[in-house]
A and B are shown apart, each in its own frame.
Chain A
Amino acid sequence: MYPIVKKKKLADKIFLMDVKAPRVAKSCLPGQFVIVKMDEEGERIPLTVCDYDKEAGTITIVFQTVGASTQRMESLEEGDAFQDFVGPLGCASELTETPIEELKQKKIVFIAGGVGTAPVYPQVKWLHGQGVSCDVIMGSKTKDLLILEEEMKEVAGNLYVTTDDGSYGFHGMGTNQLEELVNNGNTYDLCIAIGPMVMMKFVCLLTKKLNIPTIVSLNPIMVDGTGMCGACRVTVGDKVKFACVDGPEFDGHLVDFDQAMKRQQMYKTEEGRSMLKLTEGDTHHGGCGQCGGDK
């Protein structure tokens, strides 16, 4: 069992947890992810790593309640435990393998969308620890959904906060902010974008135009996370890759986002079904048009 040593609500439906998993913490690097399974009946859920503490043997995860499983996860408290917690999975960020002197020469910009701020944080923190300063654009739909602003401020060079509705910071999306920065004379050698698939797609369309090499971190459906099933396969530059072992980070300009987004929808009705079962329990008798209960 893997005990939850800390739980914190970051925003509506967004939670942070520190989980004790010494073997994972010992080997973890920025860019990697974990898979958690709550209990016997639970499914395996891939989650990005927000932070890790090798001494304390803990991993920090951040998740948003989007379906039945994450809603069930939300009910776990400090002192409760995950039955299974496996990682670190996937390849570490390429930055960790780049010579520091080379990194210091580079102008890097991160674009974090929504919960994507969580996996951006360890990369920026790692760079900061190596004496490399980079720009960070973090955006959310609205002020209330913004997470980890204080933490990011401590490790980022310039931090630009955006909200889609203008309720806080720059009014607009991460792409608008990047465009403005470039128009104002900023130049970047590398962009790293992590967030919803559609946001990463639009960042890539823009950076291609601006001629900035771009890395994205994909979040397809996964089962085992060790390369044995191919549920997470994505097309990158006409090659089929398994995001769990070849990624999750890829050259964003080569990713087939439209296909990846379609594949992400595969179990939409299944997810809707288990969500309804969870919220309505025995009182659910169909009629929602999704669950087949009305047939």
Chain B
Amino acid sequence: MSSAAIETVFGSLDNYTKGSVEIISGQASHYAFSNIFEVADKSLPYEKVVVGFNLGYVVESIRAEGQSPWYTAAHDEFAIVMDGEVRVDFLKLDAPLKAGEGTHLAGEIPAGTPMGYVLLKRGHQCLLPVGTAYRFEASRPGVILQQTIKGPLSVEKWADICFK
């Protein structure tokens, strides 16, 4: 038996290999196939590019680079760091967002109490709790996967990112 070590292959901005759609019948576009590292590689910092859409719910691929604005939402959201290292700072908002869906800007300096911060590496998942504002910070480019609802900051550009 080979003694080669087990290697679990993860992707990164610098190293990903996109798969393929071989069509027998129908259209490749119906599978809306993209690669989150390729999307983040071609995005502006903290551009929230929708890579998955299901009746209002979204999955976004976000390029983490430098400091993001403060964000908030009227519901829980989740972030998974897929590449790099990301610090997330949290504020307990004095006046939390009560209605609406998706991620909203929380303003330049939101009124609230600092709750602390979380340091995330690749594969780490973080709750972005309702009632808080949060801000991402990355000293080198990374990739965040965000689970949320389509909001005013969500960017859809399917024709640019998907197999056709």
Are A and B co-members of a single complex? no
Binding site for A on B (CB under 8 A): none
Binding site for B on A (CB under 8 A): none
